[in-house]
Amino acid sequence: MDFSKDKTHVLVISAKETFISKALQRSLRDAGYDVSYSPAEVENISDFTETVNMYILYMDEEMENAMKLLVFLKDLSIEEDKMVILIGTPAEFETATSVLPKENLAAWFERPIDMRALLDKVKLLTDKRAIENRKKSILVVDDDVTYLRMVHSWLKSKYRVSIVNSGMQAITWLARNQVDLVLLDYEMPVTSGPSVLEMLKSEVATSDIPVMFLTGKSDRASISKVIGLKPDRYLLKTISREELLEELDRFFIARKMELE
């Protein structure tokens, strides 16, 4: 996905479309961004998830029950690496960040909004994202959320990392996103790693995506099963951060040489 300025799609969200939300949309369009509007309902916002790169949530007293929306935005910021900006009072910000962690926010602005400061921040974020977009993209799939977030923290400074916690979520995510590598847990309930690999290889659009298995078992019989499925590589979950980064470096260097 291209996150350069002329491709950035911003979704402005508020309880209802007011003078302020319209002014915000107009200022962003005048600055060259593709802008849409949605009321603060998950059902409406989910219609935009495939095209929107940045979400700007304008909070006010009419958004008393926004927890479902904040959880939805939290998932987008963590799992799909979407940028989320909040606009509100300090009290509203504290309430929002009890659900949507501060570290997952792209920015926060206090009402009344300084439009110039907001536009400067949006430009800075989209310029930064354009640089980030040149990094290799990795999808990590594991039903252990703690492990997922650990791997995400290990890799995020060097790669664009997305995470999902089930095999079916991985298939859905890959149907609408491009990725350079999948790190796939071998043992997962319902849809296992081998099942995910089989489904990916059976579809033309995903058959060439490199897949590395993550496995917690190191005995010979288990490793033989993993190797028999012919993943690009397999990694033990006991691998350290430094070892994982070295493995990925070697993989991407070797793949580049193969494609040249």
Residue 181 pLDDT > 50: yes
122-156 confidence digits (pLDDT tens)? 998 888 766 666 678 999 999 999 999 999 999 98
Q: What is the pLDDT averaged over residues 41-65?
A: 85
Fold agreement (5-132, 137-259)? yes
CATH class of 137-259: alpha beta
Alpha carbons 97 and 114: distance in angstroms, whole number: 21
Q: CATH number for the 5-132 domain, one of 3.40.50.280, 3.30.70.100, 3.40.50.720, 3.40.50.1820? A: 3.40.50.280
Q: Which strands, in side-by-side order, build the sheet including 137-141?
A: 160-164, 137-141, 181-185, 211-215, 233-236
Domain spans, the chain: 5-132, 137-259
Stronger pLDDT, 75 or 243, i.e. the higher one: 243
Q: Taking Cα atoms as reference points, which of 80, 68, 63, 58 lies closest to residue 12?
A: 58
Residue 6 pLDDT > 50: no
C-beta of residue 82 within 8 angstroms of C-beta of residue 50: no
17-52 confidence digits (pLDDT tens)? 999 999 999 999 999 999 999 999 899 998 898 889
**Overall pTM > 0.75:** no
Q: Taking Cα atoms as reference points, which of 65, 156, 47 lies closest to residue 55?
A: 47
Q: What pLDDT, on a 0 to 100 scale, did the predictor assign at position 131? A: 60
Q: Taking Cα atoms as reference points, which of 85, 73, 74, 215 lies closest to residue 144?
A: 215
> Within a 13 Å sphere around the CA of 7, how many CA atoms are in the beta-carbon half?
9
Residue 5 pLDDT > 70: no
Residue 226 pLDDT > 70: no
